[in-house]
Amino acid sequence: MDLVVNTATAANEQRDAACAAIAVEQLVKRYRDVVAVDGISFTVPQGSFTALLGGNGAGKTTTIAMMLGLVLPTAGKITILGQDFATHAKSLLARMNFQSPYADLPRRLTVRQNLTIYARLYGVKAVKEQIVRLAQELDLEALLDRPLGELSAGQRTRAGLAKAFINNPRVVLLDEPTASLDPDTADWVRAFLSRYAQDAQATFLIASHNMLEVERLCDRVLMMKQGRIVDSGSPSELLAKYGRTTLEDVFLDVARRGPVEAAT
């Protein structure tokens, strides 16, 4: 009986991985004696929004860095859009993009200059038209010819988002996508992300500390702690499981429990 169950489980996992935009298998990253990511496995379905949540040091940033080729895994496999990232990184990165308010664009260059450089790096054909379109979408028209260093934190965040969509990516990795934005602008950006996902059939993996944003935007949540995935589910499933009314309370429950107590 166990063999039948295990075989069925393995078949389901293979099916999910085949249908996923992102599939991570037993991913590990060690820095000498420190295990930053400890054998995690998960899939992100095509066209979905998935949140990667966890406290500082949980392993979120390291996981995303490995998916961008910025950090080499110690062990494990990353498959994106059906291809092994280790052997197809160059072609896959052309179909992906990333944004983080903590990875700033060159501040001496104007917004237009920054976007032009990245558009050329990604081989965008109609560069001027693409910049105009994104400037309209992200309310950057009045800022295009201003140096990035003269902009507010929120304006720089919007410029970074424009960079993240300059190549019309199929897979988008976002770290705190609405950091430094006022509530109205943040809501407007979430609407843009939703429209883009629907129009381009794009897949999003989002690391965020904004629990309300995750509840509104994401289909599924992966909870990380001490380098491991300790729980997962839709926001409503996790609220019901923990008997909480907000995802922030679920986050605190997981963060404050010991490793053995954390849900698995």
Q: What is the pLDDT of residues 35-50, one digit of tens each?
A: 999 999 999 999 999 9
Residue 60 has pLDDT above 90, yes or no: yes
* Cα separation, 92 vs 159, whole angstroms: 23
- State the CB neighbour count (10 A cutoff) for residue 14: 11
Please write down the long-range contacts of 165-168, taking CB distance under 8 Å and 24 or more positions apart.
Answer: 165/97, 165/134, 165/196, 166/97, 166/115, 166/118, 166/119, 166/122, 166/124, 166/130, 166/131, 166/134, 167/94, 167/95, 167/97, 167/118, 167/119, 167/122, 167/123, 167/124, 168/200
210-247 residue pLDDT tens? 888 899 899 999 999 999 999 999 999 999 999 999 99
CB 79, CB 118: distance < 8 Å = no
Q: pLDDT band for position 1 (50/70/90)?
A: low
Task: Look at residue 149 and tell me if it is in a domain.
Answer: yes
Question: H or E element: which one contains 87?
Answer: helix 85-93
Radius of gyration of the chain, Cα coordinates, nearest whole angstrom: 19
Tell me which residue of 238, 239, 218 sits closest to 229, measured CA to CA: 238
Within a domain: 108: yes
What is the per-residue pLDDT for 255?
Answer: 87
The pLDDT > 90 percentage for the chain reads: 76
The tens digit of pLDDT for each residue in 160-203 reads: 999 999 999 999 999 988 888 888 888 888 999 999 999 999 99
Domain of residue 109, residue span: 104-168
Residue 131 within any structural domain of the chain = yes
Q: Enumerate residues 6+ apart whose C-beta is below 8 A from 125.
A: none
The pLDDT of residue 257: 80
Could you give the number of structural domains in the chain? 1
Q: Is the pLDDT of residue 63 over 50?
A: yes
Q: Is the pLDDT of residue 143 over 90?
A: yes
pLDDT at 56 over 70: yes
Residue 41 within any structural domain of the chain = no
Whole-model pTM: value is: 0.87
- What is the C-alpha separation between 146 and 205, in angstroms, rounded? 30
65 occurs within a structural domain: no
Residue 129 lies in a domain: yes
**CA quadruple 122, 128, 129, 130: dihedral, nearest 10:** 30
Residue 18 has pLDDT above 80, yes or no: no
* Per-chain mean pLDDT for the chain: 90
Angstrom CA distances, 176 to 181, 188, 214, stand at 10, 15, 10
In a domain, 98, yes or no: no
| Residue-wise pLDDT tens digits, 94-115 | 999 999 888 889 999 999 999 9
Q: How confident is the model at residue 11 (pLDDT cuts 50, 70, 90)?
A: very low
Q: Which of the pair, 17 or 118, is modelled with greater confidence?
A: 118
DSSP state letter for 147: B
Quote the pLDDT of residue 64.
95
Confidence band (pLDDT; 50, 70, 90) for 258? low
The confidence score (pLDDT) of residue 14 equals 52
**For residue 234, what pLDDT is reported?**
95
Arithmetic mean of pLDDT, 28-33 = 94
Domain-embedded: residue 84: no
Q: What are phi and psi of 122, to 5 degrees?
A: -90, 0
Q: With 80 as the cut, is the pLDDT of residue 5 above it?
A: no
**CA separation for the pair 74, 107 (Å, rounded):** 34
Q: Which residue has the tokens 């037993």?
A: 26
